[in-house]
Each structure stands twice: as C-alpha cells, then as structure tokens.
Homo-oligomer: A and B are copies of this chain.
Amino acid sequence: MKLAFIGLGQMGQGMAANLVKAGHEVAVYNRSVDKAAGLVAQGAKLAGTPAEAAKGAEAVFTMLADDKALEAVVFGADGLISTLAPGTVHVSSSTISVALAERLTEAHAKAGQGFVSAPVFGRPDAAAAAKLFIVAAGAPEVVARLQPLFNVLGQRSFVVAETPSSANLVKLSGNFLIGSVIESLSEAFALVAKGGIDPAAYLDLLTSTLFTAPVYKTYGGLIAGETFTPAGFAAPLGQKDVRLILAAGEALNVPLPLASLLRDRFLALLAQPGGAELDWSAISMLARRDSGQ
C-alpha cells in the first residue's frame, strides 16, 4: 500500500520502520530531517513537506507530540485538510485531546477525506518490536481496510467505536489509570518506608502477589529505586495527558477527583527545579517529601 508517515519521534520511527519492513511504500516527513535517516536507509522515501509525503498515499499516519503539532500539520498552510486527495484516510496515532479528534473528524469529512483515530499503548521499544496495542475508532469499512496495517504495527488492536474520538478517550483513560497506579504506589511506598520496611522487599511482595501486571513492576521499580532519569515518559507529557483527560471529563460533565489529584501532583513536580526533565513517576517524590522523608 502507498502510505505516508508524519512524525518521526521515538514512537514514529519504530512504527514507520515496521510498515516499510512489511513491504509498504512509505513516504516519511519530520520537521527535523535527521530523524528520517535510518528510515530512508531502510527504504522509506523522504518528503520535504507533509503534503508531499501524502501525495498519492492511501493512508497518512500522524504520530506527533501534541495537539498543537498535529494542528499545524493538518490545519496549517498546505496542511492535510487542504491538500489530501478525496478518499485518502488520515490515521492519527498521536495522544491528542478528544476535542481535537472531534474537530478532525468534522473537518476531514467536510473535505471528503477519511479520518480514523488509532492511538497506541506502548513505549518506544514496543513500537520498534511491533508489540504495540492499538485502539482504533472510525467508520467500520475504513477501519477494516487499515486492519492489515494495524497487524503490522502492534500485537493486537481493539476497535472501540465508530466515532474516532472514542479511541482518544480510551487512550487517555489508560494513561489516567497508569498515573493512578503511580500515585497509589507513591503513597504506599512513602508510608511503608517511613514505617521502616525495605522498599525493594515491599515491591517484590506486591508484584509477586496481587499486583503482577507489568505496570506495577515497571513503576514500582522506578519508585523504589528513585530512578527518574532518563525519563521513559517525561513529566510534562504526564501533565498533558492528565489535562486532556480532565478536559474530556469537563466536556462530558464527569468529575474525576483522582485525576484532579494527579493534576496537582504534576504541577507541583513541574514547579520544582529540574522537574520537567524527570520521568512522570517522579511525582512519587512528592508523597515522600510530604511525609518528611
């Protein structure tokens, strides 16, 4: 299939490479060109603009940092809305707001283009290993056409609704659940550590018994070891996702007190010198600090 891939950060590089490897013809674009070198070596075609990348493609993937970056690519001068051929599908894998997904749905429909939200769960290593989980939502026949691509990108995909923004809501809710795990572990570790219990032994107990999910092992390990650099997922990204889930809740009149707690934690972390460079699990330092440790 003729494809375009826009946004070659750590996630995008891995995803685009898997599409190339699967034999697709992939034109790639990134604001800073150097990120594309590896892909070009593997057979991708470098494009100078998003529009050039998208030219003739059946589907255009975007994997960008945030709403603003995606808005620029879609609504900016020579953006996808004004340049995509009718019938082309924009597949948005970025973690963006529900509101932007709704706006994209409307704008692409008006322009006779397709739009599917397909955000993913997984870190860069999972993207590279095609082990992502893909949450997709869009018109059933369009999603069906994309299914072979999802199979190439991840270990499993879930079609959650026909309204694209539903996939974004699910993605954001997942990050909220992970953030909740971090906060709950943070408080538990602060408490037991002040009570004299060895954090590593405590972590082993938790993850051998009730909390066997990888998310507890990963974040419990970071918290117990106070290992917050290099950031696997930096604090500002965590703060952004909490902001987006709160905004989604606000739009639907759904109070989210635990998300509100996370919000205040992330702001407190970002307010500390160097906080923005740390992994989002560094909010655990706040529970510990508040306990005088």
A191 touches B245 (CB 8 A): yes
Q: Does A35 contact B (CB under 8 A)?
A: no
Q: Nearest residue in B to A188 (C-beta to C-beta)? A: B173
Q: Nearest residue in B to A166 (C-beta to C-beta)? A: B197
B255 touches A133 (CB 8 A): no
Instruction: Count this chain's copies in the assembly.
Output: 4
A253 touches B197 (CB 8 A): no
**Partner pick for A197 among B161, B184, B197, B215, CB 8 A cutoff:** B161
Q: Nearest residue in B to A265 (C-beta to C-beta)? A: B255
**Partner pick for A121 among B201, B210, B248, B257, CB 8 A cutoff:** B210
Kindly state the separation between the CA atoms of A196 and B98 in the bound complex, as whole angstroms: 13
Chain A residues numbered 91-146 whose CB sits less than 8 Å from any CB in chain B: 98, 121, 133, 135
- Give the interface segment out of A42-50, A81-89, A266-274: A266-274
B212 touches A195 (CB 8 A): no
- 14 A-B pairs whose Cβ atoms sit less than 8 Å apart in the complex: A133-B208, A156-B208, A160-B197, A166-B192, A169-B191, A177-B188, A180-B180, A180-B184, A210-B214, A212-B213, A253-B267, A260-B264, A268-B290, A286-B290
Q: Which residues of A contact B (CB under 8 A)?
A: 98, 121, 133, 135, 156, 158, 160-161, 163, 166, 169-170, 173-174, 176-178, 180-181, 183-185, 187-188, 190-192, 194-198, 201-202, 204-206, 208-216, 243, 245-246, 248-250, 252-261, 263-265, 267-268, 270-273, 286-287, 290-292
